[in-house]
Structure 1
Amino acid sequence: MKLPHIRRHLVELVPTARAQRWDHAELVRVLLAEEAAGRDATNLRTRRQRAGFPAGKTLHDWDAGASCIPRPTQDALTSLEWVSRRENLCVCGPSGTGKSHFCEALGQAAVETGMTVAWFTIEDLGALVRRHRADDSITRALARLIRTDLIIVDDIGLLPVSPDAAEGFYRLVDAAYERRSLAISSNLHPSGFDEIMPKTLATATVDRLLHHAHIVVTDGDSYRLAQATGVSDLRCNWSVAPGVSRGKDHQ
C-alpha cells in the first residue's frame, strides 16, 4: 500500500497530534480519513478527464431559474435516477437554447456521484468506426465503451452525417440498448433523423434510442445571440415528453 496522501499529511499531522495529545487511534483515524479523501479527489479528477467534457460546464453554472425547462423536469433529470434505470435522454431544439450545456452539466453531476461518463460528437463515432475497421475490432471497442454508465452524443443534426458516423451512432445505440444510458443533444427531433442519415439506419437507431427515453424539446431564441446583442428578455418555450414529468418511460 503506497498511501501517498498519508505520507503527504504525516509531517503536519504528527506535530498536531503531539500538541493536542491525540492517542494513537485518533491519529490513525485522521490519517486514514485524509487518505480516503485524497483518493476520492484523485478518482474524481480521473473520471472527469476520461469523460472528455468540452467546456467544463456544471450544474453550478446552470441557471435553473432562467432556464425555460420546467423546474420539475430539471429536478427529475438532475436526480440522475434515469441513468440508474438505464434510460435515455434526448434534448432537441434550435441552436443556443441550452442543450449542450444541460447535457454536460448532467454528465458532470454523474461524474461527481461516482459514475463514469463519455462525451462524443457524432463525427467522433465515425472516427471510431474508421479507426477499428482495419482489424474489425469495432465490436470490442464498443464493448469497452458501454462499460461507461452514461454516454453523451452532442450536436446531432447541425451537419449531414457521414456514412461512418451514421454507422457508429447506430452501433453505439444498439450496443447500449437496455444496458447503459445515452444522452443526446440534437437540432432535430429524433423522428427527423432520416433527414441526415439513411432511412433504414435512422429507423433502426431511433427505434432503440426512444424506447425507455425521456424527450425534452426546446424552442426559442439563442442564449448566445441574446448575450451578443445585449437582449435580456428571451422567448423560449419548452415542451416536455410525459416520461420526464411523470418519471415514466416515453415510448
Structure 2
Amino acid sequence: MNAPAHDNGRLALMLNELRLPTIGRLWPEFAERSDKEGWQASRLLGALFEHELAERAKRRIERHRNESHLDPSKTLATLEFGLLPMVSKAHVMALASGESWLEKGATILMFGPPGTGKSHLGSAIGHALIDVGYRVLFTRTSELVQKLQAARKSLQLPSALAKLDRFDLIILDDLSYARKDQAETSVLFELIAERYERKSLLITANQPFSGWNDVFPDPGMTVAAIDRLVHHSTIFELNVESYRRRKASDKQSARQRQLPEKNQEGGTTIMS
C-alpha cells in the first residue's frame, strides 16, 4: 500500500506548526537528493533532524549571548596571555570548559588595579561557557545592587533573586565601586548567600578583601560574604602593568613601525 502524498503547502504548514523551520527550509532539496540516490527513509529523516538540532543549538547560543550583556570583543581569542604572565592559559581554558566547578556553585575572584585585564579575562571565560551551553550574565555590581534594592522596596526581592537563578554564572564586575553609602548593599550579600554552593559567581575587584568594609553595611556582613566567596574559589591576582595601557602602547608601536614601510613603498622619505 502506497503512503499518502502530501502537497508542499500542507507540509510547510505542518512543519511551521511543529516549529521545525530548518527542516521546512531544507526538506525539498534533501527529498530530491534522497529520490535520486535511493536513501532509506531513516537516512533522510536523520539528516534533516541533525540539521534542525544544529540550527536550534546555534540559535540558542546566539540568544544566550545576547542576554549575557558581554562585550563581544572580550573573548579568549582577543585575550593576550603574554600580558598576563601570572595567569596560566591551561587553567583558564579548563575553567572556560565549565568542568565541574559550575555544578558545585564555585566562585572565581579576580583582584588587581584598574586596567589589568580583569574584565576581559572574566568576559572571555563567560563567552566560552556560553559556547558550551551555559547561561551567563555580565553586570556592573553597582547596577545590579540598584536593581535588587528597587526590587526589595517593591517587595519583589525573592522573585528577582529567583529570576537570576536561570544563569549558571553571574559576572559581577567592579565590586569595589559599589559603596554602602550609595546603595543598600545588603542586597549584594543576599545574592551571594542565595547562590552559595548552588550557582556560580565571578567577581572582579580593584581592592583586596581588606577594602571590602566600604562595600558592605557592617564588618560582620563583610566577613560572612568573604567566607562564602572564598569557599570553593579560584583566585586570580592581576597585579601587573595596566593591560589596557600596554595593549594601546603595543598598537601604537606597531603603527609607527608600519609608517616607514609605507613611506618606503611610496618612494617618500620622512626626515626627522
Superposition pairs of residues 22-37 of structure 1, within 5 angstroms: 22-37=39-54
Could you say what secondary structure the match of 2:183 adopts? helix
For 1:160-175, list aligned pairs within 5 A.
160=179, 162-164=181-183, 166-175=185-194
Which aligned pairs between 1:46-65 and structure 2 lie closer than 5 A? 46-65=63-82
What is aligned with 1:239?
A: none
Distance 2:178 2:137 in 1: 22
Distance 1:38 1:27 in 2: 17
Identity %: 30
CA distance in 1, matches of 2:181, 2:37: 67
**TM-score (norm. length: structure 2):** 0.77
- Which region of structure 1 is more displaced relative to structure 2, 143-152 or 190-199? 190-199
Which residue is equivalent to 1:80?
98
Give the alignment of 1:233-244 within 5 angstroms: none
Give, in angstroms, the shift of residue 15 of structure 1: 2.6
**Gaps spanning 5+ residues in structure 2: where?**
1-17, 254-272
Q: For the Cα contact (< 8 Å) 1:48–1:111, is it kept in 2?
A: yes
Aligned to 1:16: 33
Given the alignment, which residue of 187, 208, 221 partners 2:206?
A: 187
Tell me the SS of whatever aligns to 2:148: helix
**Following the alignment from structure 1 to structure 2, what is the Cα–Cα distance between the partners of residues 99 and 165?**
25
Question: Superposed, which structure 2 residues align to 1:124-139 within 5 Å?
Answer: 124-139=143-158
The answer for unaligned runs of 5 or more in structure 1 is: 233-251
2:247 alignment counterpart: 227
Deviations, residues 134-156 of structure 1 (Å, cap 9, x unaligned): 43110121022123211110122
In the aligned structure 2, how far is the partner of 1:106 from the partner of 1:219? 19
Deviation at 1:158, TM superposition (A): 4.2
SS in structure 1 at match of 2:70: coil
Alignment length, in residue pairs?
A: 232
CA contact (8 A) 2:141 2:178 kept: no
Q: Which residue of 1 aligns with 2:6?
A: none
Runs ≥4 in structure 1, deviation > 6 angstroms?
A: none
- Preserved CA contact (<8 Å) 1:124 1:165: no
Greater mean alpha carbon deviation, residues 31-40 or residues 122-131: 122-131
Tell me, yes or no, if the aligned pair for 1:118 and 1:151 is still in contact at 8 Å.
yes
Which stretch shows the higher mean deviation, 107-116 or 67-76? Answer: 67-76
Which structure: greater strand fraction?
1
Letter in 2 for 1:182: L
Cα pair distance change 1:162/1:77, threshold 3 Å: farther
Structure 1 length-normalised TM: 0.82
* 2:224 counterpart of 1:204: yes
Return closer, same or farther for 1:52/1:71 CA change in 2, 3 Å cut-off: closer
Distance in 2 between residues matched to 1:126 and 1:29, nearest whole Å: 48
Q: How far did residue 66 of structure 1 move?
A: 4.6
Change (3 A) 1:66 1:130: closer
| Aligned-partner residue type, residue 222 of structure 1 | S
State which of 2, 6, 21 in structure 2 corresponds to 1:4.
21
